[in-house]
């Protein structure tokens, strides 16, 4: 039995080294430089020990006691190595080595089921130790690299980071790089033309960590890390967007946020996640009400009946437990929707700033400006959507106060009520020359900024379909502004050459926007 115990000890604790001469040297797995995942790969020699000592013929209880003792000793021996390990990559390899390699070797051993059960119990304990350490190290990485990330100016140097990426990559390689999963970024990167390097560091770190944890830890644990990572990553992206806005005014801050949120959603698609969780929180509303009642009725403390203030506080002032449903994907979609709305508002203000200011001034005098929604689109539903996308948040209607209409080619332009037309014509800012100045200013701005808008959107949003979806609300807002201008021109100017010139100028602006942005 003593010789058998020695053989089992050597099999579990010692790793065979290269033979030198006639003797076989053995090395301790805990020597410096030995990786943690190599330390745990040592039970393979147990098969030879079993073949030399027929375990099935030995005293079963005695052998079981020896194997159980050695299995527990092995777990105690490996635990310090696991606890000292702080690398998530190394811990993932440890879990994989124990769960796959070592377990498969144990299952292949021709040993009695009772011994195999004891060995597997010890192995499961070591695997749990490694997973607990892995969860702790993953939590620390999320806190340090995502939650507490403090960006440097170089991290917020957008669009310079994207321009550098485009300068070092051709279209073919760029389209291929955009499909890289987070796990592929673990290799060293020497070429700056790598799309992975254009991601904001908190999102890059979060996705890289999730790709390493996927399939290593249990699914509920992974989903917990995924929900926390998404929430903290979205918060970090919003903070980074504000930093980009401070350093680079314009659309860059909004495009930075939209770009990264779209990429975050795309990268989460391969993971089979349940991002909805139910959390328990304490509701202190009843406690607050009970304290307020006690403060307003301090004399009730001296009563010796059921209305005693302290007794009432103890009876009704306990906080209540409530279940709160948290949906990380829904929160992500809400932030993305808000970012798209902010991008639309910034783009419309940049392109149609002069026209928007003019329409706001007109609305201050007469209220909502009616637009033609009948036949303005291919179907009634599209017309309704067009009206509801007005920049002032209202849905103007041609039936509200518009009693007249004029024919302008093939479209019907509603007119303002007579009282509104009379009041508006008396204002100097609606004179033909002033309206012409507004339209010419908008035309000049569009000629300069529309190509810039297309270029910067192509730089941030590489997917053409996504760019089309983002540009659609901008075109809808422009269509609403254009129809309002048509109503003002038709209502405040008499038929003549000046009116035709303004209508032609407005049509030219429309063609410029539709030709350059919609294609």
Question: How does pLDDT run across 352-362, given as a tens digit for each residue?
Answer: 888 889 998 88
- pLDDT band at residue 381 under the 50/70/90 scheme: very low
Q: CA separation (Å) from 358 to 367, 431, 442, 487, 498? A: 13, 12, 11, 13, 19
Q: How far from 57 is each of 1, 7, 51, 115, CA to CA, in Å?
A: 12, 16, 11, 13
Domain-ending residue, one of 274, 291, 320: 274
Q: pLDDT (tens digit, 9 = 90+) per residue, 160-217?
A: 999 888 887 755 444 444 443 443 333 333 343 477 888 999 999 999 999 999 989 9
Whether the predicted pLDDT of 489 surpasses 60 = yes
- The verdict on 115 and 173 lying in the same domain is no
Residue 285: per-residue pLDDT: 82
Would you state the pLDDT for residue 62?
A: 76
Residue 310 domain flag: no
Pick left, alpha or beta for residue 34 (phi over 0 → left; psi -120 to 50 → alpha; otherwise beta): beta
Helix, strand, coil shares of the chain as percentages rounded to 5? Answer: 70, 5, 25
Residues 441 and 473 in one domain: yes
- Return phi, psi of residue 101, to 5°: -65, -55
**30 and 81 Cβ atoms separated by less than 8 Å:** yes
Closest of 29, 133, 135, 124 to residue 77, by C-alpha: 29
Q: Write the pLDDT tens digit of every residue in 412-432.
A: 778 888 888 888 888 888 888
Same domain as 153, residue 140: no
Cα pseudo-dihedral 318, 320, 321, 323, rounded to 10: -170
Alpha-carbon distances of 327 from 147, 204, 270, rounded to whole Å: 19, 22, 18
Asked whether residue 317 is assigned to any structural domain, the reply reads no
Question: Is residue 239 included in any domain, yes or no?
Answer: yes
- The residue among 411, 429, 428 whose CA lies nearest residue 510 is 411
Burial 47-74 (b: 16+ CB within 10 A, else e): bebbeebebeeeeeeebbebbbebbeeb
Could you tell me if 217 and 154 lie in one domain? yes
Query: Which of residues 37 and 97 earns the better pLDDT score?
Result: 97
Same domain, 82 and 153: no
Are 120 and 178 within one domain?
A: no
Whether the per-residue pLDDT at 405 is higher than 80: the answer is no
Quote the domain boundaries for residue 500.
Answer: 344-517
Between these two residues, 67 and 129, which has the higher pLDDT value? 129
Residue 349 lies in a domain: yes
Least confident of 148-162, 225-239, 377-391: 377-391
CA proximity to 96, closest of 125, 72, 130: 130
Tell me which of 407 and 332 has the higher pLDDT.
Answer: 332
Beta strands in 383-447 (DSSP E): 405-408, 411-414
Whether residue 315 lies inside any domain: the answer is no
CA distance 451 to 445: 11
pLDDT confidence tier of residue 150, bands split at 50, 70 and 90: very high
For residue 69, what pLDDT is reported?
85
Which pLDDT band, with edges at 50, 70 and 90, does 63 fall under?
Answer: confident
Q: What is d(CA 159, CA 175) in angstroms, rounded to the nearest whole number?
A: 19
Residue 305 within any structural domain of the chain: no
Spell out the residues 6+ positions from residue 298 whose beta carbon is closer than 8 angstroms to its own.
309
- Among 231, 259, 274, which residue terminates a domain? 274
**Mean pLDDT over residues 244-259, rounded?**
92
Chain-centre distance for alpha carbon 429: 46
Domains identified in the chain, total number: 3
34 and 80 fall within a common domain: yes
Q: In whole numbers, what is the pLDDT of the chain averaged over residues? A: 77
Residue 318 lies in a domain: no
Measured distance CA(218)–CA(317) in Å, rounded: 40
Range in 333-342, 345-354, 374-383, 452-461 with the lowest mean pLDDT: 374-383
Distance CA 72, CA 127 (A): 13
Specify the DSSP class assigned to residue 323.
Answer: E
Radius of gyration of the chain (CA): 36
Greatest mean pLDDT among 35-44, 280-289, 423-432 lies in 423-432
Look at residues 257, 274, 291 and tell me which one is the last residue of a structural domain.
274
Task: Answer whether residue 119 is part of any domain.
Answer: yes
- Do 97 and 156 lie in one domain? The reply is no
Chain segment 436-476, per-residue pLDDT in tens: 999 999 989 888 888 899 899 999 998 889 999 999 999 99
464-492 vs 418-425: helix crossing angle, rounded to 10: 90
- The CB density around residue 368, as the number of other CB atoms within 10 Å, is 15
Residues 131 and 256 in one domain: no
Task: Tell me the helices (H) and strands (E) count for the chain, helix number first.
Answer: 20, 6
Per-residue pLDDT, averaged over 300-311, amounts to: 75
Is the per-residue pLDDT at 365 higher than 80? yes
Residues contacting 435, CB < 8 A, separation 6+ = 358, 488, 489, 493, 502
Q: In whole angstroms, what is the distance from residue 339 CA to residue 335 CA?
A: 6
Say if residue 179 is in the same domain as residue 128: no
Q: Rounded to whole angstroms, how far apart are CA atoms 103 and 217?
A: 16
Dihedral angle at the C-alpha atoms of 121, 127, 130, 135, nearest 10 degrees? -110
136 and 218 belong to one structural domain: no
The sign of the dihedral angle between the CA atoms of 334, 337, 339, 345 is: negative
Could you report the per-residue pLDDT of 99-145, keeping only the tens digit for each?
A: 888 888 888 888 788 878 888 888 899 999 999 999 999 999 999 99
Q: According to the model, what pLDDT value does residue 170 have? A: 56
- Is 416 in the same domain as 485? yes
């Amino acid at each position: 039995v003593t010789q058998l115990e020695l053989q089992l000890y050597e099999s579990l604790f010692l790793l065979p080294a290269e033979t030198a001469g006639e003797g076989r040297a053995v090395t301790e797995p805990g020597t410096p430089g030995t990786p943690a995942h190599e330390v745990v790969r040592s039970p393979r020699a147990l098969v030879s020990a079993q073949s030399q000592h027929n375990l099935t013929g030995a005293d079963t209880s005695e052998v079981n006691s020896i194997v159980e003792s050695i299995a527990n000793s092995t777990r105690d021996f490996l635990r310090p190595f696991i606890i000292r390990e702080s690398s998530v990559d190394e811990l993932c390899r440890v879990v994989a080595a124990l769960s796959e390699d070592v377990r498969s070797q144990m299952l292949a051993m021709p040993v009695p089921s009772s011994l195999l059960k004891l060995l597997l119990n010890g192995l499961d304990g070591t695997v749990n130790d490694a997973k607990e350490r892995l969860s702790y190290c993953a939590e620390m990485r999320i806190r340090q690299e995502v939650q507490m990330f403090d960006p440097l100016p170089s991290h917020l140097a957008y669009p310079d980071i994207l321009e550098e990426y485009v300068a070092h990559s051709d279209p073919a390689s760029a389209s291929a790089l955009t499909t890289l999963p987070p796990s592929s970024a673990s290799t060293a990167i020497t070429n700056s033309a790598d799309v992975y390097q254009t991601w904001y560091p908190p999102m890059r770190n979060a996705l890289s960590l999730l790709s390493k944890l996927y399939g290593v830890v249990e699914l509920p644990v992974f989903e917990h890390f995924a929900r926390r990572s998404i929430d903290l990553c979205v918060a970090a992206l919003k903070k980074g967007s504000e930093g980009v806005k401070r350093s680079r005014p314009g659309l860059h801050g909004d495009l930075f946020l939209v770009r990264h949120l779209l990429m975050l959603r795309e990268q989460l698609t391969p993971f089979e996640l349940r991002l909805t969780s139910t959390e328990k929180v304490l509701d202190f509303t009843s406690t607050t009400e009970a304290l307020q009642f006690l403060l307003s009725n301090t004399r009730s403390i001296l009563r010796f009946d059921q209305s005693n203030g302290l007794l009432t506080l103890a009876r009704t002032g306990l906080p209540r437990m409530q279940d709160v449903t948290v949906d990380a994907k829904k929160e992500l979609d809400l932030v993305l929707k808000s970012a798209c709305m902010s991008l639309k508002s910034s783009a419309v203000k940049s392109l149609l700033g002069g026209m928007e200011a003019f329409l706001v001034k007109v609305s201050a005098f007469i209220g909502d400006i009616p637009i033609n929604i009948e036949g303005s689109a291919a179907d009634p539903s599209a017309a309704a959507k067009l009206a509801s996308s007005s920049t002032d948040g209202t849905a103007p209607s041609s039936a509200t106060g518009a009693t007249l209409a004029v024919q302008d080619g093939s479209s019907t332009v509603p007119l303002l009520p007579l009282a509104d037309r009379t009041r508006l014509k008396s204002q100097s800012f609606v004179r033909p020359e002033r309206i012409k100045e507004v339209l010419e200013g908008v035309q000049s701005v569009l000629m300069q900024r529309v190509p810039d808008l297309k270029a910067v959107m192509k730089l941030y949003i590489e997917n053409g379909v996504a760019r089309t979806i983002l540009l659609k609300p901008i075109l809808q807002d422009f269509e609403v502004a254009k129809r309002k201008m048509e109503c003002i021109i038709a209502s405040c100017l008499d038929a003549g050459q000046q009116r035709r010139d303004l209508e032609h100028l407005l049509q030219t602006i429309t063609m410029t926007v539709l030709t350059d942005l919609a294609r």
